[in-house]
Each structure stands twice: as structure tokens, then as C-alpha cells.
């Protein structure tokens, strides 16, 4: 039986492309999750009387509750980033699938929003 020798490379390419798409889909969902977390924190803070103090307490409390189960992605620093992410990109529909969470984090470090 004669096999086309390109079948192995074609199948390897299909597998690699599918893995890449899966990784991008997971990262996009993670980015959307972080946005929703930031939104929920922001909404909760708006109910507080003393917003600044309440926000610090809330983020610390969330970190203490979430980090043991979900890991370092829920440190105080990270949760602050999620809140800032929502505040910077308030319209979820502007979150482009081409950008990864790492790229959004980089954008959050830019001081001037016009840049």
C-alpha cells in the first residue's frame, strides 16, 4: 500500500493549529473573566460609604478568600489589576480577541490613555 508521505506533516500541522486556537480561546476567556471580576469589584465599591478604605479592605479580603483555592492569580496585586482593567476598558465589546491578557497588562502600565 502506497501512502502519501505528506499525510504526517499535514496531520501534525492540523494538531498544532488546533492547539494554538485552543490556547487563544482559553486566554480570551480568561481575559473576559478578569474584566468581569474587575466590574464586580467596582460595582461593590460603589455601594461602600468610605470608598477608598472599603476598596482596600475588599481587595485584601477577596485575595485572602480566593488565593488558597485559585492560586497566585488572585493576589492583592492581581485583583487590583482586574479592577483597573475594568476601569480602563469599561466596554467589554472592545476587548479584542487578538490581544492576550499579557498585552492588556502591558497597556495598563501606560500612564497616558491617549498613548
Instruction: Please report how the helices 6-47 and 51-70 are oriented relative to each other, as an axis angle in degrees rounded to 10.
Output: 140
The CA distance from 71 to 104, in Å, is 20
The CA distance from 37 to 85, in Å, is 9
Q: Which ranges of the chain does DSSP label H, i.e. alpha helix?
A: 6-47, 51-70, 76-88, 101-108
pLDDT digits (tens, 9 = 90+) for 69-100: 999 999 999 999 999 999 988 887 777 767 88
Asked if 92 and 32 touch (Cβ cutoff 8 Å), the reply is yes
pLDDT digits (tens, 9 = 90+) for 61-75: 999 999 999 999 999
pLDDT digits (tens, 9 = 90+) for 17-54: 999 999 989 998 999 999 999 999 998 888 755 565 67
pLDDT digits (tens, 9 = 90+) for 5-15: 789 999 999 99
Amino acid at each position: 500500500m502506497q501512502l502519501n508521505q505528506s499525510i504526517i506533516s499535514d496531520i501534525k500541522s492540523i494538531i498544532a493549529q488546533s492547539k494554538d486556537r485552543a490556547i487563544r480561546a482559553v486566554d480570551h476567556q480568561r481575559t473576559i473573566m478578569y474584566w468581569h471580576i474587575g466590574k464586580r469589584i467596582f460595582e461593590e465599591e460603589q455601594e461602600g460609604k468610605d470608598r477608598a478604605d472599603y476598596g482596600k479592605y475588599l481587595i485584601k479580603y477577596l485575595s485572602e478568600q480566593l488565593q488558597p483555592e485559585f492560586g497566585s492569580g488572585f493576589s492583592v496585586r492581581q485583583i487590583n489589576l482586574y479592577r483597573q482593567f475594568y476601569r480602563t476598558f469599561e466596554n467589554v465589546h472592545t476587548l479584542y480577541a487578538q490581544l492576550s491578557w499579557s498585552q492588556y497588562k502591558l497597556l495598563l502600565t501606560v500612564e497616558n490613555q491617549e498613548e
